[in-house]
Amino acid sequence: MIVTEIEEFSEIRVRARAYLCFLLQRYIPNYVPEPSLDNIINALKILKKELPQAEAFYILDKKGMQIIDAISNNSEYRRGKGINRSMRAYYYRAVREKRCILTDPYPSLLSHNLTVTASYPVYDDNKQLAFIICVDISLKDLLKLFHPSSIDSYFGHFTKISYSFFSLALLIVAILLLMKGVGSFFIMAFELRHINIKEIFESTILITLSLAIFDLVKTLFEEEVLGRHKKREASDIHKTMIRFLGSIVIALSIEALMLVFKFAIIDPQKIMFAVYLIGAVTLLLFGLSFYLKSISNIKEEE
């Protein structure tokens, strides 16, 4: 799910940066005479309680050297003093842009998971760089914090389980319809002398509906369970809708044709019901045509 997580991160990046930078600026004032390292460390200890999702807090000097062991709730992460981090994006981007930044996700040396870092440059009253404050937070925890519907959030897991259940239920329905339709064909294959046209039509309808439901299951599972809907092309979604509606139109058309023959033979007075169904199918076709026309207009505008 790494690709999906990165896509979700791109959606909440602005909000995440604004929040993390706000916290850093709130606890660590900038452009003060002779910024105190001890005061910054105390501020980070307070910030650690307010942001328990963070993996580690640490401080770099103006050359990118880590000057304290990381402050963390995890004792295994309380290290790193003396490591040169001048080649890290959270250092050189903060120095270059002269503002609080949020990095892209990268593999953390501490947790070995995808992590993002908010880095905040601290200047003295002469606008000379004194320190760079860094906050590491795992990508999964960041998404849980800012993206409630993320696949990694509790609600996201519940949604995935729910859609998995619905997909399974619909798949069972599709399989049962297919088995019923194909089974009827096999039975008729051994009774060629007694072929029932009505049963052939009914089997065709069952198989067509089975195909439509299976296509719906495929779309639900891919989008809601596997999480591939974020970057899907709009044309793919339209194709799924067209296939589903097309299957319904085909099934109704077959049913209407079957009713025409049935009522024409046994009860001509009821043939109007078949005509009504044909009219409904015609309206569906007009609706589908309008839908296709709307799609083509949108593509031309793009």
172 and 79 in a common domain: no
Nearest to 153 by CA among 144, 166, 164, 141: 144
3-state secondary structure of 274: helix
Examine the fold and report which residue of 120, 146, 172 is the final residue of a domain before the chain moves on.
Answer: 146
Q: What is the domain range of residue 185?
A: 154-301
Nearest to 117 by CA among 55, 25, 47: 55
B/e letters for 104-129, b = 16+ CB within 10 Å, e = fewer, are ebeebebeeebbbbbbbbbbeeeeeb
> Would the pLDDT of 16 be above 60?
yes
Question: How far is the C-alpha of 145 from the C-alpha of 19, rounded, in Å?
Answer: 11
115 and 228 in a common domain: no
Examine the fold and report which residue of 146, 177, 201 is the final residue of a domain before the chain moves on.
Answer: 146
Q: In this predicted structure, which of 26-30, 165-169, 262-266 has the lowest mean pLDDT? A: 262-266
Kind of pairing between the strands at 114-123 and 101-102: antiparallel
276 and 189 in a common domain: yes
Kindly report, residue by residue over 92-150, the tens digit of the pLDDT. 999 999 999 999 999 988 778 899 999 999 999 999 999 999 999 999 889 888 865 55
Contacts of 16 (CB under 8 A, 6+ apart): 9, 102, 116, 142, 145, 146
Residue pair 27/41 in contact by the 8 Å Cβ criterion: no
* Overall number of domains in the chain: 2
* pLDDT > 70: percent of the chain: 85
CATH code assigned at 85: 3.30.450.20
Confidence of residue 240 (pLDDT cuts 50, 70, 90): low
Task: Give the other-Cβ count within 10 Å of 236's Cβ.
Answer: 14
> Would the pLDDT of 231 be above 50?
no
Q: Can you say whether residue 161 is alpha, beta or left, with left for phi > 0 and alpha for psi between -120 and 50 degrees?
A: alpha
- Token pair belonging to 131: 């320190």
Q: What is the pTM of this model?
A: 0.56
- Token pair belonging to 273: 């019901």
253 and 227 in a common domain: yes
